Each structure stands twice: as C-alpha cells, then as structure tokens.
Structure 1
Amino acid sequence: MSTDKPTLAETLAEAIAAGILNGTLPPGERLDEMRLAEQHGVSRTPVREALRQLAMSGLIEMRPRKGAIVTKVTPEQLESLFVAMAEMEATCARLAAMSMTPIERRRLQARHEKMMALAAAGDIEAYSDANVAFHSSIYAGAHNAPLAEYALALRRRVGPFRRAQFQIEGRLTRSNKEHDAVVRAIVSGDVAGAHAAMLHHVSLVEDAFETFSATAAA
C-alpha cells in the first residue's frame, strides 16, 4: 500500500486485528463473515479480503467448512517475521540512500516533518496511516521493483503488530525520532548509516509490540 488512505478492507482488517491483539477475540473464536459485514455496515466482499490479509499475518486460520478461526501467534513466529522485516527494510533504506532522486529525498523529508506534527498531536490513527506511506516511499526509493514488492507483501503480514505498538504511551514520539535518524542518513546519502538506522528502528518496533502485548495480556 503506497497511499496515505487505507482501503476499506485494510480498515476492517485493522479493526479485527485490534480485537484479536487486545484479547477481545480470543484464540479459537470463529469469525463469521455475515456477522462482521453487518457489524461494520459493509458487504461481505471487503470482509473476505480483510480476513485474507489477517490470515497472511497469522492472526487467523482459514479452515475448510469452519471458516476463519482466531489463532495464537507464537513468539517464535513473531520473531521470525520481525527479523525478516528488519533486514528487508534496512536493505531498502541502504539502496534508497544510494538511489533516491533529489525530489524523492525532499518528499521523504516532507513526509517526516508532517509526521512530527502528528506525533506531537498524539494522533495515532493519522500517524499510523502516514507511517505506512513513509516506509512505502523508502521501498520505492530503493528503485528495485522486486525488493519493493517483497517488502510491501511482508509489511502487510507484519502490519497489525506494527500498528498495535502505537498504543503505548510515548511511542509516537520515539518512533518519529527513530525516523529522523533514517531520514537524515538517506537524505545525506549515508548508505551504512541508513541501513543501521532502519535496522535499529524495526528492532525497537518489535520491542514496543512485545511491551504492548504484555500489557494487553495483564
């Protein structure tokens, strides 16, 4: 997803994922398409797409004759996803520092400055949407179409976990400071610095989600 505005299916997936991650929808719970469509006032088509996205994240499992069932993501599965995401995003940042055009660098800086204001205002929803666009612009700035495609696909899998971490008090401000190091490195053409800053950022995202998860389970 490369735009600031999420699709209806993505919005539904976020809402359902929030219920799973905060324990409202426990493991083993069956998610009925018709009930979800009525609950959210939509047709079953975006609900099906939302469930497909959640299945990719490992939050639900599609079972024959039973439909969508909430699953329990193990710490090992989550660790594997975040390690893969960190390495892929760090590579994108490194290539972006090498390949971004001057216009792309200015646009990245502008996105970052916009997110500073959102973080200061504590606008979690708007910051989260802008965050997707921010990272997507780095994928595109790597100027490597296969890598950008893989990064976007993996991000969709990790998306619910990344979004949940913004519920932690002070996380928006810390996230934006981490972005600042990434942006400075990319804009200045610091290849090694961009790689290291992004690797550090995603590792802290994982730590933040683990904190959120522990708090939600308490």
Structure 2
Amino acid sequence: MARVPESQRVRDALEDAVVHGRYRPGERLDALQLEQQFGCSRTPIREALLALERSGLVQIRPKQGTYVTELSISELAERFEVMAELEGMAARLCARRIERAELDELERALKECENHATTGDADGYYYANARFHGVVYDSCGNEYLRQQALTLKRALQPYRRLQLRVPDRMRRSLTEHREIADAIASGDSEAAENAAREHVLVQVKEFSQLVRTWRQLTGR
C-alpha cells in the first residue's frame, strides 16, 4: 500500500476536525501548534492549509493567520448541483471516447472500492472512489471539462468524505458506480450521464441530513 504523503495526512485530519466542528467557524489555526500536534515540519502544514483554503474550509489572511470558515447547507447544495452536471457530462463523453486500457483501469478502481466497502474503510473507499471518477474525467476527451471537474471536486472533498459515514452509503455508492461503469462500457452515453448525475445529486440530500442530525446531537 502506498504511503500517504505527510501533507495529505495533515489535510485529512484537519478536514475531519473542521467538518465535525472540533474547530469552530472563525477560530484561528496556529501553524506552530499544528506542527507540534502532527509532529512534522512547517512545509506539510502549509501545504495542507493551502489545500483547505482551496476547499473553502479556511481563509488565509495576510499577516493575520488562518481562520476556519463554514459553508451553509444551501451553498453546499449549489456546489453539489454543479458537480452533478459536470460528472454527468464527463460520463456521457467518456462513454463515447474511452479506450480499452482505460476501461480496465475503471474496473480496477471499482474493485478497490468494493474491497474497501467490504471492510468498512470509508477513507480507503474515498480515495478509490476518487480514482474511479478520475478515470472518467481523464477519458472524457475534454481537457477543460476535466480541469473544471477536478477543481470543484477538490473543493467538495471534505464533505464527500464525511458523507461516506452515512449508514450503508458505501454499499449504495458502489452499486451506483457499477451502473456508471456498465453504461460507459456499453457505450450508452445517455445512461452513463444520467447515472453519474444521480450519483452526485443523491449526496445533496444525504449530506444535508447528515449535517442536520450532527448539529442536533452536538447543539451547534
């Protein structure tokens, strides 16, 4: 198994802490404290914070520091709606243009997802899921679409990771992945587009419910 880069390890931990409310909106993140907490140098901390800024989880203010932000449910829903359209378009084009080697890669990513779903490894599933969608983007034959999809996907990463904690979500996500892959493999561009779009849209409802439930439990 490949070693997770230090900056990615820090980013994942900070994402979880922010999304789960262990850092409150407006709270300042102290870089020196984070170095001590994670036992690493300043470079991976800086890289992780820059990645979190791109996700909209923090704001880096010149000469002031890094502060936690928070997206509202409506803002998240809007971003997921756009993501759904980009995913659908990429899957439609992919069904028309994908090559045999890329289809094999799509199947390998799907098998990884299946393995992690079986063991209940949500983080492992997330990264295998990212590889699955990455193959779709890479195979769509439209570089501009690929770049736009990747940019928005990175911004939604922490929320998509949290959403996988919804009970039974990994199993259902795997079923949705299989539907997308089968449509792409058969060259059915319309079915691929619809399956990919719905795969993202279902997360809007489930993530909203997850956040509401979490806030009721924590009183936040």
Instruction: Please give the range of the TM-score, normalised by the shorter of the 2 chains.
Output: over 0.9
Change beyond 3 A, Cα 1:213–1:5: farther
TM-score for the superposition, normalised by structure 2: 0.92
User: Which deviates the most, 132-141 or 72-81?
Assistant: 72-81
In percent, how many aligned pairs have the same letter? 35
Which residue of structure 1 lines up, in the alignment, with residue 120 of structure 2? 122
The alignment partner of 1:68 has SS state of strand
Q: CA offsets, 1:103-148, max 9 Å, x none? A: 2112212321231122122111211111111111110011222221
Q: CA offsets, 1:39-71, max 9 Å, x none? A: 111111111121111112221112233211111
In the TM superposition, 1:1-218 aligns within 5 A as 7-218=5-216
Q: Distance in 1 between matches of 2:207 and 2:6?
A: 24
Change beyond 3 A, Cα 1:158–1:197: same
- The amino acid that maps onto 2:64 is K
Q: Which runs of 5+ in 1 are unaligned?
A: none
Q: Which structure's relative contact order is higher, taking Cα pairs within 8 Å and 6+ residues apart?
A: 1
Change beyond 3 A, Cα 1:32–1:74: same
- The amino acid that maps onto 1:129 is Y
Q: Which runs of 5+ in 2 are unaligned?
A: none
Matched residue count: 215
Kept in 2, the 8 Å contact 1:5–1:129? The answer is no
Kept in 1, the 8 Å contact 2:112–2:125? The answer is no
- The amino acid that maps onto 1:176 is L
TM-score for the superposition, normalised by structure 1: 0.93
Measured on the aligned residues, the alpha-carbon RMSD in Å equals 1.6
